[in-house]
Amino acid sequence: FENMLEARIFDLYDDPMPSRTNLEGYCGETAATLIQLAAMVLDPVAAPGFAELAGRAGCAQAITGLLLLLPLHRRRGQCFVPADILAAAGTTPEEFVKEEGGAAAERAVAAMIALAREHLNAFEKGAAALPVSLRPAFLPLALTRGYLDRTETGRSPLSATATLSILRRHWLLLRHAMRGWRPL
């Protein structure tokens, strides 16, 4: 819990995220920690065996959340997109925040979506083994794929937040609460 609080200090400042590794560490200490803590409360015996899965889940959820909050972060002058991803896309944190990135900013967002999908796919690969007792801890992941799909197909996430209808959100949550992450 202390590590999570320490990681959240980053949220208070306008420093750019240095690298993908730093971003994954941030996600691991924030979102993944909450999932793991919830799992430990639900089933202290089974939870340790799913710590790696919690890490993947936390990264997928947190990166998706950062994508959803992109317009807000940019208005605040914050850049959670790692500097190495921005450089590979052809922009800088300063240009990205000031909305001067253009096509390079769009490439950086596409790279972030791909990173979130990479973690989500790794989570889903192992999620079928989740015991029913731990399923509620991972339930927020039920919305992640829907938000990523909407982020890719909707308006640019640089200027608009992707949304899912209330009915869609409830359906996804109910389906995963009942069935878990088994293939349809």
Percentage of the chain modeled with pLDDT above 70: 91
Least confident window among 7-16, 71-80, 123-132: 7-16
Split at pLDDT 50, 70, 90, the class of 10 is: low
Split at pLDDT 50, 70, 90, the class of 184 is: very low
In the chain, what are the domains?
Answer: 2-179 (1.10.600.10)
pLDDT at 13 over 70: no
pLDDT in tens, 124-176: 999 999 999 999 999 999 999 999 999 998 788 888 899 999 999 999 999 99
In this prediction the pTM is 0.90
Please tell me the distance from the alpha carbon of residue 150 to that of residue 145, in angstroms, as a whole number. 9
Least confident window among 19-33, 80-94, 96-110: 96-110
Closest CA to 139 of 162, 169, 116, 117: 169
Closest CA to 146 of 119, 179, 177, 171: 171
Please tell me the distance from the alpha carbon of residue 121 to that of residue 130, in angstroms, as a whole number. 15
Q: What is the mean pLDDT of the chain?
A: 90
Cβ atoms 56, 138 nearer than 8 A: no
Closest CA to 175 of 143, 133, 148, 127: 143
